[in-house]
Amino acid sequence: MPDINIGQQGKLRSVPKLTKINGDDDLSLIYRNMGNNHAYPFVWAETMTFSGSGGTKTLLSGVKFHGMKAADYCKVSLGAGATGMNPYFTKNSGANTITITSSAAGSVDIIVMVGANPDVKEIACRGNTGAYQSLP
């Protein structure tokens, strides 16, 4: 695409933007301050506690970020949890829900990151020289 300059690598609608990144004093949350009282969370962590013989709990339901369903747009990472919990998450794109299931009582740490899968090779571009970082 010859009409895209060096600062506009990637998709046309993916022009890099300057945004203020904020962390909360009390919450385990990092969000983008887009100005005009608009803030979007993009990384947060929480702990979900299961009692009895475990079960299923809803992490997100009906939530959209930037017009995208959370079930399609969020990445979820679970901690190991207590012995025997075997926690896992399920995404239902149709219902736009993300649920966490455990087979035993205990607590599991969860990290959620909002966004599409990045192409790290493209992000690591060094100007127009074509040189890339040496990634492991």
Read off the pLDDT of residues 13-48 as tens digits, 9 standing for 90 and up: 555 566 677 887 888 888 887 777 777 788 999 999
Burial label for 100, CB within 10 Å (0-12, 13-18, 19+), is buried
Mean pLDDT of 67-89: 91
At 55, the pLDDT band (50, 70, 90 cuts) reads very high
Is pLDDT at 12 greater than 60 in this prediction?
no
What global pTM score does this model have?
0.71
Residue spans of the domains in the chain: they are: 20-115
At 65, the pLDDT band (50, 70, 90 cuts) reads confident
DSSP conformation letters of 46-72: EEEEE-TT-EEEEEEES-EETTEEHHH
Determine the pLDDT at residue 127.
55
* Residue 62 φ/ψ region, left for φ over 0, alpha for ψ in the -120 to 50 degree band, beta for the rest: left
Q: Are 67 and 88 in contact (CB under 8 A)?
A: no
Mean pLDDT of 82-103: 94
DSSP label of 44: E
